[in-house]
Structure 1
């Protein structure tokens, strides 16, 4: 169902005409074409000290860094993983990569070596750019060169001549490659083409309604899709200033930044809102817009926000492969009253439906849809589309009412939605099975008993013969996952069981574990 007006449809067409062209130049589109004196980002440290960085500063620095990367062998089409937190050098590095026509591969800083190595190998990368606090994680990975931000790299940049021209990859050319986890197999590479910038611009404009005079802050981490798409790329293509808090999340820091910097437009994961709702520190806040993405919002948070934040929180739905596509849009041209439990209506440029019980995107009638398949994974790609290619299948079950409002009901696969992150059970299982005490394991997501994270990771472990069940062993397995994979994905609970429920073909019946 479409609620688009002619002017909205014209904007979609204009964005496609800008970003989906044979000579599309990513660095120019996100940075160089803007007023060089305009502020792109405000970086905020733990003491609330801040630094404004302009588009002109990003242009100048990234052109020199592009020369350095080229000297280190980066060429058009190369995958360049970047393991970096929210800092100025991150955006400079992305721009430098795109100036060479290369492809950025984001790496989450909470990842341990195992998760990083899986993505480095999956992208066939030869060079990784990182920061001093993360570089030790790369030491065990063979066959890669590591470029670390700091004094030495600064000296190379200062001595380099700026590249004179960017490599134009065109709207169909790949600018990013993210990895997403499913229920089985290694993480799948998601190529993001330059034309996706049209969809990112649309989301910032129509769904988030980031106005020119807004103080916008997306608190998500750029190591994941929502933070990268809509904390960095979306604001840049729209020419909007974005805040970047360079410390980890806490209620204290979040409230302090909103108040000190006068945030008017805020976006974050449901976990952020749930945590804030349980704190007495949230006072004196009056936002113009508040948006949530990652997992469904619970009614208690929606009710709390009206008073505590000065506005309702609007829920949005998307995936790494899609960006955000079905939303409770904020822009007054298309905004509709929020319906309890609904994630909204298709964003301009998209048409949706329900196919075999799944939420699905209509390929033929969604001009902003940019995903065409996983990198070198035709079988996995085929699972995402109907046989006639007409529909993209999200693997999320849902329903739609007579007015075109969509409602999420459940994941159709076993991906765990924890604190805004999508965690593949296979990734965690692949680590735990290497523990010497484990002979079989299954991982599931179950509702967070504290009501904060949405779901929590729980592991069901079959122990080797002669191994005793102890709390110390449980803690050791939790630490093992934190150290070998990622601290955001460790099992909050480890259950020791005699066997796992399986089908006759040997597939683990995770739904039985979730219900147990």
Structure 2
């Protein structure tokens, strides 16, 4: 991008920061009330492809009534409230209602089992969880928490008086608290302040290039950062219409939605594009913009987009702690030609560089940077910044060329990127080690042999005495992870080994497991 265009974009981000960082900023006003009441906020699509529109005016009214009901249940400013719901109308209404009260939304992924949910509920100090009948059995076992059924809340809201006055929390207040994938320990809480809305809108405007005329669909799940930030929050802050499909992913259903609703601007993980490329009929699909995030994008997907989607697929990079910060931006004001293997250039509002081999963000030169630290974890926070505090360190290694194009080379941590989901080995290991047969376990990701999911989870298990590795035990351990953590994170293969490779200090050498896993014996030698 030329210097003049970059300067204009930087000024626009500064203007957004002034609005969203104000001391009297109110979340519900910024995300709902200031927009045209008749404009559609969400197109809600059911599995049978029937749909309804939720206008900003309806969202304002329903969330005000819901806020009155939640306040009567004890929800107050600053309370962390986990929400475990699918992509349905009640999800959006509940979130805006919480924000009217100054409460903090803690997102929960609907594929989580009780263990993963409890970790986030207890870690956030929550006393109330909002869910529905389809998910309630996962939450009921958690002690010292009140479970509210969202359908009961909706029914009570029908006769409730709308909340008269919202809580204005200010730009530095937390309105969302997500959790990291838990690579080297328990997942860490990431408080998201209201001023982060400037970064989210910058990504939607400059990188995704979502316009008022677009039919926009971000297929990511709002239980994770990319879906929450850019399928729900960013469209709301920009007054755009976002499509939410209340069902899981299949290639056929994705094509059906793209064609029936005339989607023009689509965002999703590379695994979605790979699955579509594997044989879906794309003849009715015509996109203006296609974007990818969550794992590195291979050149074949870029070419697939040009041939079958109507446009190339552009790669973008970010983290839970940052939102998106580097990308092959779509907006004509800042767009640059693609370079093979590159994830693009820094987004307006950010200055990126390479520090000690890691992709890094300059703190002083990045006004849109909003992450200041993990919740209650100062030592882990310190690991994310250089000693002088000048740079945020992503822990992802990379390089940058003379024109500012960044390329990802490797993850410095061990997060597994499977089917667009970030899976922390610690979470899976913590479940597996509870089995009576398991003495030690290490979990790694390996390339998916089918070329669809990006990576698959593999576990290396050292057995206790009197146990023998077998196909039956492998299935038992896989089922344990499915039931106690999440269906998307179970190990596709379990290797039973004599010992785990370790450094002299006792740390597991996962790179050896990743390299040798395919040849590892399935039973101890």
When normalised by structure 1's length, the TM-score is 0.98
Q: What SS does structure 2 have at the residue aligned with 1:226?
A: helix
2 CA distance for matches of 1:133 and 1:153?
Answer: 15
Alpha-carbon displacement from aligned partner over 1:368-397 (angstroms, at most 9, x marks no partner): 000000000000000000010000000000
Q: Which residue of 1 aligns with 2:191?
A: 191
Q: Which residue of 1 aligns with 2:166?
A: 166
Task: Say whether residues 1:502 and 2:502 are aligned partners.
Answer: yes
Q: Which runs of 5+ in 1 are unaligned?
A: none
Alpha-carbon displacement from aligned partner over 1:445-484 (angstroms, at most 9, x marks no partner): 1111111111111100011112122111111101100100
**Equivalent residues in 2 for 1:484-499 (5 A)?**
484-499=484-499
Task: Say whether residues 1:37 and 2:35 are aligned partners.
Answer: no
Q: Which residue of 1 aligns with 2:133?
A: 132
Q: Which residue of 1 aligns with 2:115?
A: 114
Q: Which residue of 2 aligns with 1:60?
A: 61
Q: Would the aligned equivalents of 1:418 and 1:455 in 2 still touch at CA under 8 Å?
A: yes
Alpha-carbon displacement from aligned partner over 1:469-514 (angstroms, at most 9, x marks no partner): 2111111101100100011111111100000011122111111111
2 CA distance for matches of 1:295 and 1:120?
Answer: 27
Q: Which residue of 2 aligns with 1:471?
A: 471
Task: Say whether residues 1:74 and 2:75 are aligned partners.
Answer: yes
Q: Would the aligned equivalents of 1:459 and 1:491 in 2 still touch at CA under 8 Å?
A: yes
Q: Would the aligned equivalents of 2:85 and 2:110 in 1 still touch at CA under 8 Å?
A: yes
User: Shift in Å at residue 155 of structure 1?
Assistant: 2.9
Q: Which residue of 2 aligns with 1:513?
A: 513
Q: Which residue of 2 aligns with 1:24?
A: 25
Q: Would the aligned equivalents of 1:2 and 1:351 in 2 still touch at CA under 8 Å?
A: no
Q: Would the aligned equivalents of 1:418 and 1:457 in 2 still touch at CA under 8 Å?
A: yes
**Equivalent residues in 2 for 1:345-384 (5 A)?**
345-384=345-384
User: Shift in Å at residue 154 of structure 1?
Assistant: 2.7
Q: Which residue of 2 aligns with 1:179?
A: 179
Q: Would the aligned equivalents of 2:362 and 2:392 in 1 still touch at CA under 8 Å?
A: yes
Q: Which residue of 1 aligns with 2:523?
A: none
Q: Would the aligned equivalents of 1:289 and 1:330 in 2 still touch at CA under 8 Å?
A: yes
User: Shift in Å at residue 116 of structure 1?
Assistant: 0.2
Alpha-carbon displacement from aligned partner over 1:389-440 (angstroms, at most 9, x marks no partner): 0000000000000100000000001111111111111111010000111111
1 CA distance for matches of 2:49 and 2:511?
Answer: 46
When normalised by structure 2's length, the TM-score is 0.97
Q: Which residue of 1 aligns with 2:12?
A: 11
User: Shift in Å at residue 25 of structure 1?
Assistant: 0.4
4+ residue stretches of structure 1 with deviation over 4 A?
A: 1-4
Q: Which residue of 2 aligns with 1:414?
A: 414
User: Shift in Å at residue 284 of structure 1?
Assistant: 2.4
**Equivalent residues in 2 for 1:230-245 (5 A)?**
230-245=230-245
2 CA distance for matches of 1:272 and 1:213?
Answer: 24
> Cα 1:2–1:381, aligned 2, differ >3 Å: closer, same or farther?
farther
1 CA distance for matches of 2:280 and 2:187?
Answer: 40
1 CA distance for matches of 2:82 and 2:364?
Answer: 33
Q: Would the aligned equivalents of 1:182 and 1:414 in 2 still touch at CA under 8 Å?
A: no
**Equivalent residues in 2 for 1:416-495 (5 A)?**
416-495=416-495
Q: Which residue of 1 aligns with 2:520?
A: none
1 CA distance for matches of 2:153 and 2:183?
Answer: 40
2 CA distance for matches of 1:245 and 1:28?
Answer: 25
Q: Would the aligned equivalents of 1:182 and 1:413 in 2 still touch at CA under 8 Å?
A: no
2 CA distance for matches of 1:432 and 1:154?
Answer: 39
User: Shift in Å at residue 2 of structure 1?
Assistant: 8.8
Alpha-carbon displacement from aligned partner over 1:261-310 (angstroms, at most 9, x marks no partner): 11000000111001001014222211000000000111111111111101
**Equivalent residues in 2 for 1:243-322 (5 A)?**
243-322=243-322
Alpha-carbon displacement from aligned partner over 1:327-359 (angstroms, at most 9, x marks no partner): 000000010000000000000000000000000
2 CA distance for matches of 1:235 and 1:317?
Answer: 19
Q: Would the aligned equivalents of 2:252 and 2:280 in 1 still touch at CA under 8 Å?
A: no
User: Shift in Å at residue 157 of structure 1?
Assistant: 0.9
User: Shift in Å at residue 233 of structure 1?
Assistant: 0.5
> Cα 1:412–1:50, aligned 2, differ >3 Å: closer, same or farther?
same
1 CA distance for matches of 2:280 and 2:98?
Answer: 44
2 CA distance for matches of 1:296 and 1:210?
Answer: 22
Q: Which residue of 1 aligns with 2:104?
A: 103
Q: What SS does structure 2 have at the residue aligned with 1:443?
A: strand
RMSD: 1.1
Q: What SS does structure 2 have at the residue aligned with 1:364?
A: coil
Alpha-carbon displacement from aligned partner over 1:83-120 (angstroms, at most 9, x marks no partner): 00100100111011111111000000000000000000
Q: Which residue of 1 aligns with 2:324?
A: 324
